[in-house]
A and B are shown apart, each in its own frame.
Chain A
Amino acid sequence: MTGYILKRLLSAVPVLLGITVIVFLIMAMIPGDPALAILGAYATPENVAKINRDLGLDAPLVARYFIWLGNMLTGDFGTSFSLNRPVIDEVLDRFSATLLLAGTSFVLCSVLGIAAGVISAAKQYGWADKGITFAVLLGISIPSFFLGMMMILIFAVELRWFPVSGMKMAYGGGGFADVANHLVMPAFALAVVATGVVARLSRSAMLEVLRQDFIRTARAKGVREGRVVWGHALRAAMVSIIPVLGIQAGFVLSGAVYIEMVFQWPGVGRMLVDAILKRDILLVQGGVVFVAACYVLFNIAVDVAQSLLDPRIKT
């Protein structure tokens, strides 16, 4: 197992390098003098000279890439000029907020989606199946940012169950209950689309598995139907559900950008949008590379989970 994990980690190295190359090439498309573009309003002659020196911006493209890569490997993602703070510090702060939001949503969408899919398949063509199918269709069609706004109107403004936005109360907030209270609405709004996708896939995976011979064997043994469905069938269906969960994690992370805007959640998505509007290129660049790398590592974890679940995979 350890060997397998190491192997997968090694295979991630070229992917991670590829990500840096792609981000670097995209950023190289910026027209004009890169130093001026990066500094924007802060482009004093001293700053330009300093950044040219630090980032090797006057060097050829390939050399520039390696200087940038080398800096990142030592943990130096540059300095955000709009915030006057090291990029990596800002990204780490913001990413922890995103991780809380997206992580909660990911757990929600996995649990709810799989449960809905299993029920839908087991009660195929029944009213539960029809209800779930319709809810799923609605869920995957509604833009998450619109859903978030409607949730604010209903649950925060009308019913006053949850705070309108933010991550904690301005004064004296930040305790577990306070953050959890702020988390409920954005986490659900973010989870809805992914829940729909997971439910759909789980339903078809379950329908596929329930037709298999080993399900008939379980029934012939006299296993209770609940255990046939939630044990035998779901266990086998998980083999095709887990890879989709890995893909959905990417969609949850993407959707977090919108949800963070709607709910004023201080995450990395909102940071990126603000940075783009302020043309803080280094902050965008560092944030994108960091989050993409985390996503790649997460997918390795998904692969490892898959190999634990399916003894037929050679580790």
Chain B
Amino acid sequence: MNWHEFQRIFNDCELDGDKIVIKSKLHEVIRFVTQNYTYRILEEIIAIDKGNGETELIYHLYSFEDEEDLFISIIVKDKAESIVDIFESAIADENEIYDLFGIQFTGNENLKRLYMPQDWQGFPLRKDYVQDDTRLAWNDDNEA
């Protein structure tokens, strides 16, 4: 993709290695790259807990015409924009991230606990997550 053209339109973004780091307007950026370039598959959304309650979301898009990967990265607190209306596969990814990182995606109505039980406390892939659910501690005190 044409990086300079992209930077002219979204000027608060920078290039870090092979990923584009943006500050805001996630939905707009994703819409822009899908409409103007050939990125037609959202392969996955990767979430990384950066500490301090900040989570990095990396959107991995792929263009099979140009055989090119595109990584768009954004740092969010505990809310992010949903891109379900652009890529429907994001239902699955966002749900998984909600389940494991506790990030609310505004606009995605399907969010629910996916892997963890419905009444589970906490979000296990966060770095500040402490395993204190007594149901899992199978020791003698608990069995009684």
A and B bound? no
